[in-house]
Structure formats: C-alpha cells, structure tokens
Amino acid sequence: MEVYTEHVRILIVAATTMEVGPFFRKLQPAPSRGPAVRSYTHGGHDVDGLVTGVGMVATAAWCSRVMAQTRYDVALNVGVCGSFDPTLKPGEVVHVTSDRLAELGAEDGETFLTIQELAQLGENEFPFTWGELVNPAPPANATLSRLPAVNGITVNTVHGNARSIAAVTERFKPQVESMEGASFMYTCRIHDVVFAQVRAISNFVEIRNRAAWKMADAIGRLGETALSILDHV
C-alpha cells in the first residue's frame, strides 16, 4: 500500500467502547455518520470509529453495513485477545495476519471436521486460503511492521476448559483467540478494503482466572499502538 501524503478515510472497528474509549478520546470529534459510528479527525485524516458489539455476527453485520455505505482507504480492527502462546504475554500488542473460524464445522464422535473437510467449502475458495482468512497486503505502516505477526482463531465461546484448550491447540495451533477478528477480516476481503487486525493480549487462555488478567495494561498499550499507527498513516 502506498504511503499517503494527503488525507485518507480510516475505519476503526472495536467490539466494545471499553477497549477503545481511551484511544477515541485522543482524537478530535467530528459530526458522526450514523448508528454505531462516531467520527473524528486526526493528523488531517478522517477517522470513523465503529463499535459493533461483541461477537462475530454483530461484527460482520455492522462492518458490512458501514463498508457498503462508505469507501475506506484503511480499516483497523482493534481489541483485546487471549494468548495460547507462552511467549506472548499479557500487555503485548500483536498483528493478527491470519485467522480462522475455529468452530465452523461438525462433530463426528470425538473428531471435529472443518467446513472444508466436510466439502462444503473449498480450501482456497475466496476469501479463504487453505481454510484460513489471510491478510494478503496489510497497510505499509512503520508501527504495524514492528508488531509480532501471529495467527489467531475466532470463536463464539472463549476457551476456559483444559480439554477444549488442548483440543483446539492440537487442531489449529493458534497463538491468540478473539470473538470478532475473523469476521472483520472476512468482511474486509469481501469489500476489498486494505486492513489490519491489531490486538493487545489481556490474558493467557487457561481455566478462567480473572485475577491474572491484565486488562488495563492491555487497553492502555492498545490505545498507544493504535494512535501510533494513525500517526504513521
């Protein structure tokens, strides 16, 4: 992607206000464009903030509506996530370059069959690449390029059971999980929008242990990183 020298239109997508509230407060408010969208300016660029609500259905529906109404030069999905990778610790910010709809398929006894294994969708049928949603051309951005590139899964039910954690880890070998990322990437591919999924790790994926979460640290680092990405557009 070219480095922009003039103003561009940017879409920032998040599931909850909690994740992006501190970041949005650092931008200059502008007249809003419609439901769920709040508009801002920053560094001469137009920035729309879309808070979709939690989950892949809400994210896909709202992103598709907004992207159909307005053409964006760049879309960023920002939020928190859980880490399967012990080297990726709470508070760290990552760039999710590939994601997977981990629950899309069928159970066959103790075996899970992906939608591709069921022959309901081709391994490389658009927008998938070998069963994954892959970002083919992230924005050329100095801040983004410094973030660890990771693979993720997107789920309706976050993992908190030792058996299911072991099973999904063996099946897909994910590094992080969220409840929205793959649906955002799917929508961007459909609408042909340049995009990046940026997440801050709030916790390790383990038996639910809120005492070990670093949510405030994650949200703080996420906001700093998102602002730096805008500064380098």
- Does residue 1 form part of some domain? no
The per-residue pLDDT for 32 is: 84
- Does residue 161 form part of some domain? yes
**Percentage with pLDDT > 90 across the chain:** 90
The per-residue pLDDT for 50 is: 97
Q: 200 falls in which pLDDT band (50, 70, 90)?
A: very high
Q: What's the domain range around 161?
A: 9-231
pLDDT in tens, 130-169: 999 999 999 999 999 999 999 999 999 999 999 999 999 9
Distances 47 to 35, 70, 89, 192, 205 between C-alpha atoms, Å? 15, 12, 30, 18, 32
What is the number of structural domains in the chain?
A: 1
Q: Residue 191: which CATH number?
A: 3.40.50.1580
- Does residue 207 form part of some domain? yes
- Does residue 2 form part of some domain? no
- Does residue 134 form part of some domain? yes
- Does residue 3 form part of some domain? no
pLDDT in tens, 54-93: 999 999 999 999 999 999 999 999 999 999 999 999 999 9
pTM here is 0.93
- Does residue 18 form part of some domain? yes
